[in-house]
Amino acid sequence: MNADVLVVGAGPAGLAAAMELRKLGADRVLVVDRDVAAGGIPRHSAHTGFGARDLRRVLTGPGYARRYAEAAAAAGADIRLGTTVTGWDGAPTGGGPQRVTLTSDAGVQSVDAGAVLLATGCRERPRTARLVPGDRPPGVMTTGELQRRVYLAGQRLPGRALIVGAEHVSFSAMVTLAHAGAQVLALVTGRPRHTSYAGFALAASWRWHVPVWPSTVVGQVTGRGRLDGVQLADTRTGDTRFVPCDVVVFTGDWIPDHELARAAGLAMDPGTRGPAVDTTLETSVPGVFAAGNLVHAAETADVAALGGRHAARGIVARLRRGPAPQPVRLPVTAEPPLRWIAPNLVCPGGPAPPRGRFILRSDVFARLARIEVWQGGRRLATGISFRVIPDRPVRLGASWTGRADPEAGPLTVRLA
């Protein structure tokens, strides 16, 4: 079959992109997702707070997911669930139809798409990927698994629970555990303090009596047949202690779901660990775009949705322009203690990035931080960020992109 655009992923970014594509005149928009329902992660995030930036209203996660799924279908997008991309033949260097193989219960099908948008999202790294040693008893999970068990399967989790991490999603995990009947002992983080909003920590302390244990790391998980507990270590003093518990939830430490992007041969950014993209969100392969938390793990659902809309505008421009060489694109890297920047390719004088700004991440806390953009020995821009917090976005305006010299090589962003 043929499609103007194939969208891989039916989360906020993919569904928002599908709506925008149809609005802009793309006739055949096919959305595929391996899950059995559309909506992505918000579908099993039962708390409120979704939709403020993109829908101008506040919804629960399931309500937000449902609204986007219904709107994309009403716009005329063909949404196919339980469908996985199992092959990708690629396209000519200068662009052209992308041939993708889809597999579902209905069988195997090939799709020739004028453009492809990858919106496969991100996931939390599990305990094994974090190299936490110990046994492998049941009761050790990520927030995603926890929410699926509780909100989709209705599972109860009585007993003592410990949360590894102290960022936004960690407090969400705390609420989910309390809903499931668990006694949450604490949130532990190797950082000197939590990285979420102050109100979240206050609510955790006052409403649920859950403390945050800073400068604390998990040294080992113990238990055979059932979880006995975890060994904790204080990074300031070196002291260790054993905490008995029945559930351990590893939160945050996000990584893009980039397996399909790698299989397609897209150039990857070492900072974000997702596909390298320019300000239109086009990747190294002409006609292939990436949006949402595949390119900036992990932003809120509404930011991902707005990124999907932005990618849709770039896709339509590409389809109207037809096969053509990509313009000069300069790589942008973030110097430590900054971790990454997205987008991470710049076309001098080209379009603005989503929402007119770049997103960065930092490994350190700082106040009134000066952020500088350099190309060779020339400083292109200086910005001030009132507060820099790990696991939280740092935003950088895009006016400096017009001052980049196409002949002067890569750009760097640093904390001065």
Give pLDDT, residue 336.
97
With 90 as the cut, is the pLDDT of residue 94 above it? Answer: no
When pLDDT is cut at 50, 70 and 90, the band that residue 95 belongs to is low
When pLDDT is cut at 50, 70 and 90, the band that residue 90 belongs to is low
Domain with CATH 3.50.50.60 in the chain: 1-123+253-325, 126-252
The pair of three-digit structure tokens given for residue 412, joined into one six-digit string: 């760097």
CA distance 98 to 114: 6
> For the domain 126-252, what is the CATH code?
3.50.50.60
Give pLDDT, residue 143.
96
CA distances from 276 to 210, 289, 340, 344, 351 (A): 39, 10, 11, 6, 16
- Residue 208 burial (C-beta neighbours within 10 Å; 0-12, 13-18, 19+): middle
Higher pLDDT, 220 or 93: 220
Give pLDDT, residue 91.
53
Give pLDDT, residue 46.
84
When pLDDT is cut at 50, 70 and 90, the band that residue 362 belongs to is very high
Give pLDDT, residue 408.
95
pTM: 0.95
The mean predicted confidence, pLDDT, of the chain is 95
With 80 as the cut, is the pLDDT of residue 92 above it? Answer: no
With 90 as the cut, is the pLDDT of residue 324 above it? Answer: no
CA distances from 248 to 31, 211, 251, 253, 406 (A): 35, 15, 10, 15, 50
- What's the pLDDT tens digit per position in 178-215? 999 999 999 999 999 999 999 989 989 999 999 999 99
CATH class held by domain 1-123+253-325 = alpha beta
Give pLDDT, residue 132.
95
Give pLDDT, residue 349.
87
Give pLDDT, residue 48.
87
Whether 154 and 241 have beta carbons less than 8 Å apart is answered as no
When pLDDT is cut at 50, 70 and 90, the band that residue 97 belongs to is confident
3-class SS of residue 199: helix
Share of the chain above pLDDT 90, in %: 91
